[in-house]
Structure 1
Amino acid sequence: MDEQTNPAELVLAARRGDDEAFYRLMVLHHDKLYRIAFAYFRSEADALEAIQEVTYRAYMKLHSLRKPDYAGTWLVRILINYCNDERRRRSRQAEYRSGGIPDERADVTEIRAVRDSLESALDVLEPRQKQIVILKYFEDLTIREIAAAMQYPDGTIKTWLYKALRKLKDYMRKDGEPD
């Protein structure tokens, strides 16, 4: 293999700013990358889009490639990560369209509405109850950790949490109308 097609030499040249060397590196691995992407998506357009994204990611992260001799393996790993991410994204979009959980691009106004509704519901609780609910469900603390933090027995925390959840349930059942 001469210097023109040695992947390690192409990586080193590309790191020095030789865009032509980076282009040759991508051409050298194009067929293999295309076959893998096509196997994932079964679509020429999606496979080509995947290669385009991998090319961009590789160009931006070329400095992070530790061993230039493994450029091909590195590119394949980037491609597989992209393909897996894209499949998950498409799955979430399909769930969202079919009434499932919205994806991360959900409308900001919807997120604000949910947050406002949750804050309103928490406002019906006594301060101690609100604190326990926040520690339990927002901070993911155990009953024992909450009891230690608030310096009350576990049983007392459980009772207050039960009463808080009952109050929230009643509040939600009444469509947000406080007692």
Structure 2
Amino acid sequence: MNKKQLAEAAARGDEQAFLQLMNNEKQQMLRIAYAYMRNEADALEAIQETVCRAWLKRNSLKKPGYISTWLIRILIHVCTDELRRRKRTIPADTRQESLQGGMESDHHSLDETDAAENRLDIAYAVEQLEGPYKDVIRLKYYEDMTIVDIADILQRPDGTIRTWLHKALKQLRKYMADRGGAKER
């Protein structure tokens, strides 16, 4: 069976077809979830919640050929919901510390090099972007998706995605320029 046939069967309640679809999509879902959650355990939990929601909402899949887009959209909602919930429960003064601490562990094998610091700065700067800008950057640069694919996933016109990408990059450049200026003093 091809992806569309599997999606059609899953939408009708075929558990085996659904499991095969999830197995086919798991690597991409893990990369996206990790880009949002920044650690493997939270990413796996987000995927588990996504699979549950997808199974429960399988009847709402209108175009089986777009199963990947549909799953990614659910995954992004799960991740952003969890991050929003955490933001409400973590005191403001510890947010930056926990975010930077998590990122440092991702790069523990690198000695205190400028490249590692830049990656940390960029990752932190991406986290500071507004929701849709952050989504566009993650999908474009972490997942290497096209503008058209991102527009499908976020259900926005291509022009809106291009605008968000332009504004996000502008904000990131400004942040990095400000950080560079602060280091020279």
- After TM superposition, the score normalised by the length of structure 1 is 0.50
User: Which of the pair is proportionally richer in helix?
Assistant: 2
Higher relative contact order (CA 8 A, sep 6+): 2
Look at both structures and tell me which one has the larger radius of gyration over its CA atoms. 1
TM, length-normalised to structure 2: 0.48
